[in-house]
Structure 1
Amino acid sequence: MTAAGDLQNLLSALLIWTWFKSCLSEEAENTTAYYDNETVSSDFYDDMPVLCVKQSNRNFQRWFIPIFYSIICLLGLAGNLLVILTVFYFKRLRNMTDVYLLNLSFADLLFALSLPFWAANSLSQWVLGLALCKAMHAIYKISFYSSMFLLSFISIDRYFAISKAVSAHRYRSQAVLFSKVSSAVIWVMALVFSIPEIVYTNINNGSCSPFSSNTDTLRVSLQASQIVLAFLLPLLVMSVCYSSIIRTLCQARSFERNKAIKVILAVVVVFLASQVPYNVVLFLTTVVTGNGGTINCDYDNNLLYATDVTQCVAFLRCCLNPFVYAFIGVKFRHDLLKLLKDNGCMSQEMFYRCTFRRRSSAGLDTETTTTISPKLLITSPKDT
């Protein structure tokens, strides 16, 4: 019985081992068949998504953005402070453009003051708290929208002052009041349009940003709204107004005409050169975000480089506006020189030397940019 029991136990163990081995063999065959059907091997790993490395762009941002933001900030502070001091020192709020220029200088000044914080944000993690993060973004966005709207209103004012000089002359007494009210409305509109981004601004991955990783739909909506409100709308208004102004000036028989046309062209060229590249890149970025991103890492990195460069070019407007819209006017330049002389920044001899060279161009004594004497337009017959 013992020998028979041992033999039975041995046969049972062999049967169990045979069954277990056959199961292992079948599992291995199924596994091989599964991977063969899915074309694994090297092709499987080739199809796996590859992480897009953006370290080179971060290194570029660490030196490019602080340098250019600092330059723009210093130039913007200097130019806009000179405009503000000149306006208040000589009490130059005598027409609509003076009021709009003062508000434009305040908007650009606030914009320039926010740039050092953005430069610090690109260098390291944001450590100043959520409240200051939202405040910085609010100042940046409100000043951005208000400056774009003010540029549109300046072009509208120049349109009525030149193309509609006769009718505009009748309402000259109410013009300053209207400009003050419209400026207040512009600031309110800028605040309203900035509210969505201010609300969603947060500290994401150590950086102060208006967008988080799960708000692609919101990001597309806000960027599309910015393109329409802060670029296409001002571009449309400026195109209509300045094209009409140029047609009017071409019909005027005055030696001021060529200078005024050059000023208008300078205004348009500066706006287009600074705003078009950035908004084109912003549009492409919005399209990529709306499509759920891109698998082309090179294209994604190139968009980041283009955004950094074109954004800095667009930000140059805050330091160019004082020269294009204010200092190009002869009277404004004269007031600026007198301000420098009265405060000891310029000698009496230098002041008379600079002003003497401009006395020969007294006929071009414009209040502000693109302004031409309404009398010349009223009395000058149109070419037929």
Structure 2
Amino acid sequence: MSCDKCISNLLPAVLIWFMHFKCCLSQTEDNTTSMDYQYDYSTSPDYDNFPELCVKESNRQFRLWFMPTFYSIICFLGLAGNLLVILTFFYFKRLKTMTDVYLLNLSFADMLFALSLPFWAANSMTEWVMGVVVCKFMHTIYKVSFYSSMFILTFISVERYFVIAKAVSAHRYRSQAVFLSKVSSVAIWALALIFSIPEMKYTTINNHTCTPFTSSSDQLRVSIQTSQIVLAFALPLLIMSVCYSSIVHTLYQARGFERNKAIKVILAVVAVFVVCQVPYNLVLFLNTLVAAQGGTEDCNYENRLLYATDVTQCLAFLRCCLNPFVYAFIGVKFRNDLLKLLKELGCMSQERFFKYTCGRRRSSAATDTETTTTFSP
């Protein structure tokens, strides 16, 4: 009984001590919570650590008028010029040399690209509302026409090299030339389609804009743009430079007025390629370097790159409407065929036709073959 009485007297004291300890613990937690959420309004936050948003409104306003204007001009000239080339070839059935076949395929490639320019203009003016399928189709058509044009121009330079600089060797395969040109043209289109597979796969709609890459695919973008620079610019430029240098060297050994005219045509060919493609590929190379470094924090530099990309891209697009004039209209036989077609369609009088065609000497030197159009000024 004494032990039970001792426990009964001790139990109230233990309960009182436990309640007092719980109360103190609760008060300590309240004080800690209030201290944790206490904010000192006397100090201002440091905004220097926050990333600055790069404003690109001026570039967007520039695109609203610049891109649609130039796209419309290039589309009209490209469709008109290349359509005339195609009609002339089919009307006079002038597919008798490798150059003729390549020029016809070049016109198809340029006209195909010109047909896609209205979509490019719409993409630069407003938000893209035509869906992912049309978006992929637009960029794929551009890449297919771009690669095929570059490869065709390269094959033209190689064919002209063998015809002019290696005339004896080229004459042996003259009967097979057209067949070889048709087979190589099919291979060119197939190769251009294969190189355009990344556009089919990775083109998507990002921030209401149709774009071939997103910000999360910088390494992929670097790889594809590097291959584009090498395969569609550096390699064709190297081959064209070697071929045309040999052609000029051969022509300088010839004599007569026809030599000078042919050299002028070659210079025009090289000038169009360099003027249209070099600026855009240099800017594309700078964009590739920026993407490889993970972007840039210099907003002014980024805006200047955007302006340079827009301007040089339009200059590169201009090539599709200049090719008919440089590679087709400048040739004597093709120019006479075009004038004859305009006369038969009623767009030119008989007197004017004879004024432009009669009295012109036809080339008989190494610069002119039976139906050569490229170097027959």
TM-score over 0.5 for the pair: yes
SS in 2 for 1:256: helix
Aligned position for 1:171: 173
Question: Superposed, which structure 2 residues align to 1:1-384 within 5 Å?
Answer: 44-356=46-358, 358-360=359-361, 366=368, 367-370=372-375
- CA displacement 1:138-161 (0-9 Å, x = unmatched): 211111100000000000000000
- CA displacement 1:114-140 (0-9 Å, x = unmatched): 111110111112222222222222211
Gaps of 5+ in 1: 1-14, 373-384
Residues 330, 376 of structure 2: 8 Å contact kept: no
Relative to structure 1, the CA distance from residue 127 to residue 144 in structure 2 (aligned partners, 3 Å threshold; closer, same or farther) is same
Shift of residue 328, structure 1, vs aligned partner: 0.6
SS in 1 for 2:65: helix
Q: TM-score, normalised by structure 1?
A: 0.85
Shift of residue 213, structure 1, vs aligned partner: 2.5
Q: What stretches of structure 1 move > 6 A for 4+ residues in a row?
A: 18-29
Query: Which residue type is aligned with residue 302 of structure 2?
Result: D
SS in 2 for 1:203: strand
In 1, Cα distance between the equivalents of 2:95 and 2:51?
Answer: 61
Shift of residue 23, structure 1, vs aligned partner: 6.5
In 1, Cα distance between the equivalents of 2:217 and 2:310?
Answer: 21
Residues 162, 371 of structure 1: 8 Å contact kept: no
- CA displacement 1:197-225 (0-9 Å, x = unmatched): 11111222222221123111111111111
In 2, Cα distance between the equivalents of 1:165 and 1:362?
Answer: 16
Gaps of 5+ in 2: 1-23
SS in 2 for 1:92: coil
Report the more deviating stretch, 44-53 or 271-280. Answer: 44-53
Relative to structure 1, the CA distance from residue 243 to residue 362 in structure 2 (aligned partners, 3 Å threshold; closer, same or farther) is closer
Shift of residue 371, structure 1, vs aligned partner: 5.0
In 1, Cα distance between the equivalents of 2:265 and 2:303?
Answer: 38
In 1, Cα distance between the equivalents of 2:83 and 2:28?
Answer: 91
Query: Which residue type is aligned with residue 370 of structure 1?
Result: F
Residues 158, 371 of structure 1: 8 Å contact kept: no
Query: Which residue type is aligned with residue 369 of structure 1?
Result: T
Relative to structure 1, the CA distance from residue 350 to residue 50 in structure 2 (aligned partners, 3 Å threshold; closer, same or farther) is same
In 1, Cα distance between the equivalents of 2:276 and 2:140?
Answer: 22
Residues 148, 231 of structure 1: 8 Å contact kept: yes
- CA displacement 1:233-289 (0-9 Å, x = unmatched): 110110110011111111122331111111111111110000000000000001111
Query: Which residue type is aligned with residue 266 of structure 1?
Result: A
In 2, Cα distance between the equivalents of 1:94 and 1:21?
Answer: 96
Work out the number of aligned pairs and report it.
349
Relative to structure 1, the CA distance from residue 25 to residue 76 in structure 2 (aligned partners, 3 Å threshold; closer, same or farther) is closer
Query: Which residue type is aligned with residue 196 of structure 2?
Result: S
In 1, Cα distance between the equivalents of 2:34 and 2:77?
Answer: 77
Shift of residue 319, structure 1, vs aligned partner: 0.4
In 2, Cα distance between the equivalents of 1:146 and 1:25?
Answer: 71
Residues 110, 143 of structure 1: 8 Å contact kept: yes
Q: TM-score, normalised by structure 2?
A: 0.87
SS in 2 for 1:208: strand
In 2, Cα distance between the equivalents of 1:254 and 1:95?
Answer: 25
Residues 363, 376 of structure 2: 8 Å contact kept: no
Report the more deviating stretch, 44-53 or 273-282. Answer: 44-53
In 1, Cα distance between the equivalents of 2:140 and 2:36?
Answer: 63
Aligned position for 2:10: none
Residues 197, 222 of structure 1: 8 Å contact kept: no
Report the more deviating stretch, 253-262 or 20-29. Answer: 20-29
Query: Which residue type is aligned with residue 368 of structure 1?
Result: T
